[in-house]
Amino acid sequence: MYYRFGKVFYFLGVLVFLFTLLYFYAALPEQIGIRLDDQGALLREYPKSTFFYGLAIGFFLLNLVTIYTPKTLETKTNQKLHRLFPIGDPYRDYLLLWFYSFGGWVNFSLALAALYVHAINNQEELSAAAYNFWFYLMPIILFLWVGGLFVLLFKKFKSTQVGVN
149-165 residue pLDDT tens = 899 889 888 887 765 54
- Is a pLDDT exceeding 60 seen at residue 110? yes
Please report whether residue 120 resides in a domain. yes
Please report whether residue 63 resides in a domain. yes
Q: How far, in Å, CA of 13 to CA of 77, rounded?
A: 26
Please report whether residue 164 resides in a domain. no
Please report whether residue 49 resides in a domain. yes
Q: State the residue range of the domain holding 67.
A: 3-158
36-57 residue pLDDT tens = 666 666 677 788 888 889 999 9
Q: How many domains does the chain have?
A: 1
As a whole number, the mean pLDDT across the chain is 83
Please report whether residue 165 resides in a domain. no
The pTM of the full predicted model, rounded to 2 decimals, is 0.81
Higher pLDDT, 124 or 69: 69
